Amino acid sequence: MTDSKHEQSKKELEQKLSQLHDQGVVKEIAEKRIIDLEIIEQSIPDMRKDESINKMLKLFKALANKNRLMILWLLMKGVRCACEIEHLLKLSQSTVSHHINSLVEVGAIDAVKSGKWNLVELNEKAFTKEFFLSLLDTVIE
Protein backbone atom coordinates (compact mmCIF):
# COMPACT_ATOMS: atom_id res chain seq x y z
CA MET A 1 0.00 0.00 0.00
CA THR A 2 1.36 3.40 -0.92
CA ASP A 3 1.96 5.96 1.81
CA SER A 4 -0.94 8.17 0.68
CA LYS A 5 -3.36 5.23 0.61
CA HIS A 6 -2.08 4.11 3.99
CA GLU A 7 -2.64 7.58 5.44
CA GLN A 8 -6.16 7.70 3.96
CA SER A 9 -6.88 4.25 5.41
CA LYS A 10 -5.56 5.43 8.79
CA LYS A 11 -7.86 8.49 8.72
CA GLU A 12 -10.87 6.30 7.88
CA LEU A 13 -9.92 3.92 10.67
CA GLU A 14 -9.61 6.80 13.12
CA GLN A 15 -13.13 7.97 12.18
CA LYS A 16 -14.53 4.48 12.72
CA LEU A 17 -12.73 4.15 16.05
CA SER A 18 -14.09 7.54 17.13
CA GLN A 19 -17.59 6.32 16.35
CA LEU A 20 -17.00 3.13 18.33
CA HIS A 21 -15.78 5.20 21.27
CA ASP A 22 -18.69 7.65 21.03
CA GLN A 23 -21.15 4.73 20.99
CA GLY A 24 -19.51 3.22 24.07
CA VAL A 25 -18.36 0.07 22.24
CA VAL A 26 -14.68 0.67 23.11
CA LYS A 27 -13.29 2.56 26.09
CA GLU A 28 -10.13 4.02 24.59
CA ILE A 29 -10.20 7.13 22.46
CA ALA A 30 -9.37 6.70 18.78
CA GLU A 31 -5.93 8.32 19.06
CA LYS A 32 -4.88 5.84 21.78
CA ARG A 33 -6.05 2.86 19.73
CA ILE A 34 -4.23 4.19 16.64
CA ILE A 35 -0.98 4.45 18.61
CA ASP A 36 -1.46 0.85 19.83
CA LEU A 37 -2.12 -0.30 16.26
CA GLU A 38 1.02 1.44 14.97
CA ILE A 39 3.10 -0.43 17.52
CA ILE A 40 1.47 -3.73 16.56
CA GLU A 41 1.86 -2.94 12.85
CA GLN A 42 5.64 -2.70 13.23
CA SER A 43 5.85 -6.34 14.36
CA ILE A 44 3.74 -7.81 11.53
CA PRO A 45 6.57 -8.16 8.95
CA ASP A 46 8.67 -10.13 11.47
CA MET A 47 5.67 -12.31 12.36
CA ARG A 48 5.16 -13.19 8.70
CA LYS A 49 8.76 -14.43 8.57
CA ASP A 50 8.58 -16.23 11.93
CA GLU A 51 8.77 -20.00 11.55
CA SER A 52 6.62 -20.53 14.67
CA ILE A 53 3.64 -19.14 12.74
CA ASN A 54 4.19 -21.81 10.08
CA LYS A 55 4.43 -24.49 12.77
CA MET A 56 1.17 -23.28 14.28
CA LEU A 57 -0.46 -23.32 10.86
CA LYS A 58 0.63 -26.94 10.35
CA LEU A 59 -0.76 -27.84 13.77
CA PHE A 60 -4.13 -26.26 13.01
CA LYS A 61 -4.25 -28.01 9.65
CA ALA A 62 -3.50 -31.32 11.35
CA LEU A 63 -6.23 -30.70 13.93
CA ALA A 64 -8.75 -29.72 11.25
CA ASN A 65 -9.63 -33.35 10.61
CA LYS A 66 -12.33 -35.34 12.38
CA ASN A 67 -10.36 -38.60 12.44
CA ARG A 68 -7.25 -36.93 13.87
CA LEU A 69 -9.30 -35.30 16.60
CA MET A 70 -10.84 -38.67 17.37
CA ILE A 71 -7.35 -40.21 17.57
CA LEU A 72 -6.28 -37.47 20.00
CA TRP A 73 -9.39 -38.11 22.06
CA LEU A 74 -8.55 -41.83 22.21
CA LEU A 75 -4.98 -41.06 23.24
CA MET A 76 -6.21 -38.89 26.10
CA LYS A 77 -7.40 -42.16 27.58
CA GLY A 78 -3.93 -43.72 27.32
CA VAL A 79 -1.35 -45.28 25.01
CA ARG A 80 -2.94 -47.07 22.06
CA CYS A 81 -1.79 -49.53 19.48
CA ALA A 82 -2.56 -48.45 15.92
CA CYS A 83 -4.66 -51.63 15.57
CA GLU A 84 -6.91 -50.40 18.41
CA ILE A 85 -7.44 -47.11 16.62
CA GLU A 86 -8.23 -48.94 13.38
CA HIS A 87 -10.81 -51.07 15.19
CA LEU A 88 -12.45 -48.30 17.24
CA LEU A 89 -12.68 -45.78 14.40
CA LYS A 90 -13.36 -48.39 11.72
CA LEU A 91 -10.54 -47.08 9.54
CA SER A 92 -8.04 -48.90 7.36
CA GLN A 93 -4.46 -49.45 8.49
CA SER A 94 -3.15 -47.07 5.82
CA THR A 95 -5.62 -44.32 6.83
CA VAL A 96 -4.69 -44.62 10.51
CA SER A 97 -1.00 -44.64 9.61
CA HIS A 98 -1.45 -41.46 7.55
CA HIS A 99 -3.24 -39.68 10.41
CA ILE A 100 -0.68 -40.83 12.96
CA ASN A 101 2.17 -39.56 10.77
CA SER A 102 0.44 -36.17 10.42
CA LEU A 103 0.02 -35.86 14.19
CA VAL A 104 3.60 -36.98 14.86
CA GLU A 105 4.90 -34.43 12.33
CA VAL A 106 3.32 -31.53 14.25
CA GLY A 107 4.43 -32.89 17.62
CA ALA A 108 0.96 -33.65 18.99
CA ILE A 109 1.70 -37.34 19.53
CA ASP A 110 4.64 -39.72 19.79
CA ALA A 111 4.79 -43.03 17.95
CA VAL A 112 6.92 -45.88 19.25
CA LYS A 113 7.56 -48.98 17.20
CA SER A 114 7.85 -52.10 19.34
CA GLY A 115 8.62 -55.00 17.04
CA LYS A 116 5.74 -55.18 14.60
CA TRP A 117 3.52 -53.07 16.88
CA ASN A 118 3.04 -49.35 16.48
CA LEU A 119 2.14 -47.67 19.77
CA VAL A 120 1.07 -44.03 19.95
CA GLU A 121 0.63 -41.65 22.84
CA LEU A 122 -0.15 -38.02 23.44
CA ASN A 123 3.01 -35.91 23.56
CA GLU A 124 2.58 -34.59 27.11
CA LYS A 125 5.57 -32.24 26.74
CA ALA A 126 3.89 -30.31 23.97
CA PHE A 127 0.19 -30.93 24.63
CA THR A 128 -1.51 -31.84 27.84
CA LYS A 129 -4.69 -33.81 28.20
CA GLU A 130 -6.16 -30.82 30.02
CA PHE A 131 -5.44 -28.60 27.01
CA PHE A 132 -7.31 -30.88 24.60
CA LEU A 133 -10.10 -31.54 27.06
CA SER A 134 -10.60 -27.82 27.59
CA LEU A 135 -10.79 -27.32 23.82
CA LEU A 136 -13.31 -30.12 23.49
CA ASP A 137 -15.36 -28.86 26.43
CA THR A 138 -15.48 -25.39 24.92
CA VAL A 139 -16.75 -26.71 21.59
CA ILE A 140 -19.07 -29.47 22.81
CA GLU A 141 -20.95 -27.51 25.49
Render pLDDT for 17-68 as a digit per residue (tens, 0 to 9): 999 999 999 899 999 999 999 999 898 888 888 787 888 788 889 889 999 9
pLDDT recorded at residue 138: 67
The pTM for the full model equals: 0.65
pLDDT, greater one: 4 or 92: 92
Angle, CA of 15, 37 and 47, to the nearest 5°: 145
Question: Where is average pLDDT lowest: 24-28, 80-84, 113-117, 128-132?
Answer: 128-132
pLDDT recorded at residue 33: 92
Closest by alpha carbon to 80, among 113, 118, 115?
A: 118
